[in-house]
Structure 1
Amino acid sequence: MDNSPVISLVIVDFFKAERVVDNVRMALKQKGDFSLQVVVIDNSCDPRNKRILEKLPKSDNVHVLYNNNNCGYVAACNEGVSLFSSDYVFLVNPDIAWKADTTITAILNKFASDERIGVIGTRQINDDGSTPDTVRRFPDLIAQVARRTFLRTLPLV
């Protein structure tokens, strides 16, 4: 019996089909002791986007669902998660580029390093090398002003 963990990658697409195809192809090249299943939920409701997604690799572990209406990101994530039973679920942005073929293994190793870890968020890097704001604290007036003015560039103490 194989004891390697099963990973479910859930990717919600909204008009980023070309990036999704690249994302899935790179994800399938990940190396490590795990089984990978991929589900793409297409919220675009667009025939052109669908034609591009039809270029995804034909495989037992790659599934695409084409929604008839945009049910929203969270509902689509829930739809994808409910399709499989797995040890780990990765909610993956559609335009992710897997920089190394050991990224999933590194994430699994991080999980294994501390039983208190329940969620991991990886660092997002834009195509131009910059890092976007991917998390925020609860909005307040000071934070809103700081984010929209020169105060944004000041070093944090």
Structure 2
Amino acid sequence: MVDVAVVILNFKMRALVETCLETLFQDIAQSGLTVGVVVTDNKSEDGLLAWIHQNYPAVKTIETEGNIGFARGVNPGIRSIEARYYFILNPDTQFTEPNTIQRLYDWMQTHSKVGVAAPRLLNGDGSLQYTIHRFPSLSVQLIRRSPLSKYRFFKSRVDRFLLKDVDRSEPRPVDWAQGSALFIRKEALDDVGLLDERYWMYFEDTDWCRRFWQRGWLIYFLPHIALIHFHGRGSAKVPGMILPLFKNRLAREHLKSWAKYFWKWRAAGRLKII
């Protein structure tokens, strides 16, 4: 069993994965931890796996049968390695601070009730990404996809969902954090289970965090530990609510996952309506 298993899912992001791995191995070079790395590739056929075998032969690679989505791509990576902690990492992340993984590990070792820790994520220019949230309500999700988000009253609802009203200077519990970078305790993972594969993409991280809370595990945001995340919202490239459904597959998948999530958590006391 390794101390930390880093699990990265790729789909046609070879250049970003190369940078991610290069900075990852720089980060752990002086660490006393045993770190295993798994890269799952959703049939990108971009030469990444051959590049990994040549440059990082210790990295385990898994090739799936196609673009099977986030949950179905990440879960095999988790299953393939035994670790005390699992670091689920997007391919478009980059390590820029020293000893990031060591500091995540050390913090989790002293906070036994925390099941998931989420570092602060920054854009390439160093600005903050809003990657921690309150659990979504139906109304906020509709507002975010509509022109209403431009008006002060409705914008304040979205800002509250994005936790813009909370202090981000100290570690704090949050409802959920985006799956771009999640550091997860093995005991919590064994208790809660893997990602729900009924979600192709989107809301699987929201659902996962909700399940951790349901089982009594805390989700924590750690602002003193940061990574760069070259994030792009593919589902929002076509504005509006109706037009994207015709022009953007990711928008359609977002809507499908949106419906699955709210249906799954529809029972009284488990779903915020407003």
One fold, TM greater than 0.5?
yes
Please state whether the residue corresponding to 1:20 is helix, strand or coil: helix
Is the aligned partner of 1:55 residue 2:51? yes
- Please say if residues 17 and 53 of structure 1, whose CA atoms lie closer than 8 Å, have aligned partners that are also in contact: no
Q: Map 1:92-131 to 2 at 5 A.
A: 92-131=89-128
Q: How many residues align?
A: 150
Of stretches 21-30 and 146-155 in structure 1, the one that deviates more from structure 2 is 146-155
- Please say if residues 4 and 87 of structure 2, whose CA atoms lie closer than 8 Å, have aligned partners that are also in contact: yes
- Please say if residues 5 and 33 of structure 1, whose CA atoms lie closer than 8 Å, have aligned partners that are also in contact: no
| Deviation readout 1:17-48 (Å, 9 max, x if unpaired) | 111111112111223221111111111x233x
Instruction: Quickly say closer, same or farther: Cα 1:125–1:32, change in 2 above 3 A.
Output: same
- Please say if residues 7 and 35 of structure 1, whose CA atoms lie closer than 8 Å, have aligned partners that are also in contact: yes
Q: Map 1:1-157 to 2 at 5 A.
A: 6-29=3-26, 30=28, 31-43=30-42, 45-47=43-45, 49=46, 51-56=47-52, 57-60=55-58, 62-136=59-133, 137-142=135-140, 144-145=142-143, 148-151=149-152, 152=155, 156=165
Greater share of strand: 2
Q: TM-score, normalised by structure 2?
A: 0.49
- Please say if residues 21 and 53 of structure 1, whose CA atoms lie closer than 8 Å, have aligned partners that are also in contact: no
Q: Per-residue deviation at 1:98?
A: 0.5
Residue identity (%): 21
How many Å separate the matches in 1 of 2:20 and 2:85?
Answer: 18
- Please say if residues 4 and 34 of structure 2, whose CA atoms lie closer than 8 Å, have aligned partners that are also in contact: yes
- Please say if residues 41 and 61 of structure 2, whose CA atoms lie closer than 8 Å, have aligned partners that are also in contact: yes
Instruction: Quickly say closer, same or farther: Cα 1:5–1:150, change in 2 above 3 A.
Output: farther
Q: Per-residue deviation at 1:119?
A: 0.8
RMSD over equivalenced CA pairs, Å: 2.5
Greater share of helix: 2
